[in-house]
Each structure stands twice: as C-alpha cells, then as structure tokens.
C-alpha cells in the first residue's frame, strides 16, 4: 500500500517553532505518513544569506523536530554540498519511494516564485505541491507560467505561530528574548555553541561604525550624506545614516560596497538588507545602526529626514 511522504526543505537558519507548526498542521490536514525535513546546503534563492555551518544547522534541525516521530531529518543535501536544487532531491526520493505519493511543502513566498525554480515542471510531475501561508497572509496566485494540466496545489492556512527566520536572527543578534520562538533544546544549543553572537559584541562602537560607513559612501561618490544621533530617544536604533546615489544602479553599488567593507573590517554582515533588487531605497540593518541608501529621486519623494527632524545631527569627519 502506497504511503504519503512529505518533503519540507529550508535553510533552517535557525529552525524555529513556526517550522514545527507548519509540519504538524500539514500532517494533520493531509494525513501524511512521514515527513522528510531537508536542510539545504546552499539555497539557490538565498545565496547572499550568511549561513551557519551545515553541521550546526543539521543538529539544530534534529533537535527542533526530535519530538515528532513522523519526521526524519535528512542530511542528503548537506552531504551533497553545492547549490541545493529541489529537482535533484525529488529524483533521489523518487528512487527511495518509487510507489509512494510525494508531497512538496513550500511557503507562500516560495510559491509566488515557483516558476523560477530549476525544472519546476519536472518537480510537479513527480509530486503534489502543498502551499502553506502564515497567519493573516492572503493567498498569492502562482505565476501564470505554471502548467494548468497538473494537479492544483493544496493550500493550508497556518494557525498560531508566525515567525520569520530573518527577524529571529535579528532578535538573537540584538539580544532580545526568543524563548517563545525556539524549541528549548535548540535555544540551548545556540547558546552553547555561540552560533548567533550579539552584534554589539562584534561592532562594539556604533558611532565609529557610522563614521566608517559614511566614509565608504563618500568614497563611492554618494551625495547628500547625513547622519542622525538618536541616542537617548525612544527609537529602535542609536544611529541612522542616509545617503543618495545618482541612479538606482549607483544606489545598489553603494549599498553593496558598504556591506563589503563592513564585512572586511568587522567580519560581519548586515542583519538584513531590504530593497536590494529594486535599488530605489536600500536599507542595511546593523542593529543599532540603520544605513539608508536612496536613488536620489526616491529620497526626495519620501523625505525620510523629516522623521528625525528634531534629532541631533552627528558630525561626520569625511576625507
């Protein structure tokens, strides 16, 4: 008798209760007999994400799902190394489970770009697609390029836990309590191995960092560079740095240069980067410093400086 086998992949950087909740609800809705949780070695869609080592991500994932007997955590993609393409994993599983029904579990954000995945039509010929959405997130129709002659995906609206790994890493980096978002064993392992050290321990002096980033922007021919000292105010950061590029391409190059030089000098990446693709307004999040790089026309439209109109300017010492 054939079984229902689910595949749930991800970077699991780190694995959190939202991941566990997703698997539990999919199993409950579809009656899956087994779920293979597959940490990726390197996602083709997240190649710029700073990744904890494969060994640590596998161990965290194993701990996260340890209480679910229906789950098998596989190291297939980690051992294979290189970019992890889902089609290769599906073909591997099809050989292991030739007569069983495979279910590929993806999130709504992945589904909206599914037509960009390598051999996505071949993936759909081997398995049934299951799409999960976070609480409050509306269904996003798939791109019209998806074939119409294949089974429509199952759509499962998740309940309760709404967690973003990006936001979780940021919370860990700025020292916020994340006990309600992580399995206790995972949290203990992160602390024991010091996997996500507080960024303030790395960057230490944010005023010096602000000056450093401002000089990088100046060297890159950014225009209208200003910095705000927000210390003592009820703001989520201590410093804000704002600069403009003369085009979207210039703005993107400036942001990339800041990230590259901070990585070289301080050995750390931004906690998050937003707007990198569009190049209109790029935000590099360094915890207590937010760097805003605009296409100048967009900056004039948003007039971000007005948000901090009464805040103290930080005098920049540009060479």
pLDDT for position 37: 98
Higher pLDDT, 204 or 160: 204
Residues 109-134 have a mean pLDDT of 85
Task: Please report which confidence band the pLDDT of residue 187 belongs to, taking 50, 70 and 90 as the band edges.
Answer: very high
Q: Does a structural domain hold residue 50?
A: yes
Residues 89-113 have a mean pLDDT of 90
Q: Does a structural domain hold residue 318?
A: no
Q: What CATH number is given to the structural domain containing 59? A: 3.40.50.620
pTM to 2 decimal places = 0.77
Asked whether residue 23 falls in the same domain as residue 124, the answer is yes
pLDDT for position 145: 47
How far apart are alpha carbons 121 and 135 in whole angstroms?
A: 29
Among residues 130, 165, 193, the one where a domain terminates is: 193
Asked whether residue 39 falls in the same domain as residue 71, the answer is yes
Asked whether residue 13 falls in the same domain as residue 123, the answer is yes
pLDDT for position 198: 85
pLDDT for position 141: 53
Among residues 142, 159, 193, the one where a domain terminates is: 193
Q: Does a structural domain hold residue 218?
A: yes
Residues 240-258 have a mean pLDDT of 95
Asked whether residue 121 falls in the same domain as residue 218, the answer is no
Main-chain dihedrals φ then ψ at residue 67, nearest 5 degrees: -85, 0
Asked whether residue 122 falls in the same domain as residue 262, the answer is no
Asked whether residue 273 falls in the same domain as residue 173, the answer is no
**pLDDT per residue as tens digits for the range 199-247:** 888 888 999 999 999 999 999 999 999 999 999 888 888 999 999 999 9
Asked whether residue 57 falls in the same domain as residue 174, the answer is yes
Higher pLDDT, 42 or 61: 61
The residue segments making up the domain with residue 62 are 4-193
Asked whether residue 166 falls in the same domain as residue 304, the answer is no
pLDDT for position 209: 95
Asked whether residue 63 falls in the same domain as residue 87, the answer is yes
pLDDT for position 46: 62
Residues 153-169 have a mean pLDDT of 80
pLDDT for position 136: 59
**pLDDT per residue as tens digits for the range 284-307:** 999 899 999 999 888 988 888 887
With contact defined as beta carbons under 8 Å apart, do 210 and 314 qualify?
yes
How far apart are alpha carbons 240 and 242 in whole angstroms?
A: 7
Number of domains in the chain: 2
Asked whether residue 189 falls in the same domain as residue 289, the answer is no
Q: Does a structural domain hold residue 307?
A: yes
Q: Is the pLDDT of residue 161 over 90?
A: no
pLDDT for position 120: 83
pLDDT for position 49: 63
For residue 115, give every residue at least 6 positions away whose Cβ sits within 8 Å of its Cβ, in sequence order, or none.
142, 143, 145, 146
Asked whether residue 153 falls in the same domain as residue 294, the answer is no
Among residues 162, 193, 224, the one where a domain terminates is: 193
Asked whether residue 183 falls in the same domain as residue 206, the answer is no
Task: Please report which confidence band the pLDDT of residue 150 belongs to, taking 50, 70 and 90 as the band edges.
Answer: low
Task: Please report which confidence band the pLDDT of residue 175 belongs to, taking 50, 70 and 90 as the band edges.
Answer: confident
With contact defined as beta carbons under 8 Å apart, do 136 and 162 qualify?
yes
Q: Does a structural domain hold residue 319?
A: no
Of 214, 159, 215, 148, whose CA–CA distance to 18 is shortest?
159
Q: Is the pLDDT of residue 140 over 60?
A: no
pLDDT for position 48: 56
């Amino acid at each position: 008798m054939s079984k229902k086998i689910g595949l749930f992949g991800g970077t699991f950087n780190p694995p959190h209760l939202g991941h566990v909740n997703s698997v539990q609800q999919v199993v409950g809705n579809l009656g899956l007999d087994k779920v293979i949780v597959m940490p990726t070695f390197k996602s083709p869609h997240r190649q710029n994400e700073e990744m904890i080592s494969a060994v640590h991500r596998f161990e965290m994932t194993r701990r996260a799902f340890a209480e679910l007997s229906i789950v098998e955590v596989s190291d297939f993609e980690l051992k294979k190394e290189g970019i992890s393409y889902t089609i290769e994993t599906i073909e591997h599983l099809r050989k292991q489970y030739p007569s069983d029904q495979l279910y590929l579990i993806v999130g709504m954000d992945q589904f909206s770009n599914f037509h960009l995945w390598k051999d996505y039509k071949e993936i759909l010929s081997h398995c049934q697609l299951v799409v999960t959405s976070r609480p409050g997130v509306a269904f996003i129709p798939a791109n019209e390029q998806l074939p119409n002659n294949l089974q429509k995906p199952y759509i499962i609206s998740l309940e309760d836990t709404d967690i973003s790994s990006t936001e979780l890493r940021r919370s860990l980096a700025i020292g916020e309590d994340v006990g309600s978002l992580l399995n206790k064993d995972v949290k203990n392992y992160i602390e024991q191995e010091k996997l996500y050290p507080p960024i303030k321990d790395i960057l230490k002096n944010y005023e010096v960092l602000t000056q450093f980033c401002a000089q990088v922007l100046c060297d890159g021919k950014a225009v209208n560079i200003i910095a705000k000292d927000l210390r003592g105010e009820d703001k989520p950061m201590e410093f804000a740095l704002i600069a403009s590029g003369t085009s979207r391409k210039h703005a993107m190059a400036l942001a990339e240069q800041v990230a590259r030089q901070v990585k070289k000098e301080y050995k750390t990446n931004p906690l998050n980067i937003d707007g990198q693709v569009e190049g209109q307004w790029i935000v590099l999040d360094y915890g207590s410093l937010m760097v805003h790089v605009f296409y100048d026309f967009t900056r004039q439209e948003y007039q971000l400086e007005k948000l901090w109109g009464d805040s103290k300017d930080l005098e920049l010492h540009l060479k």
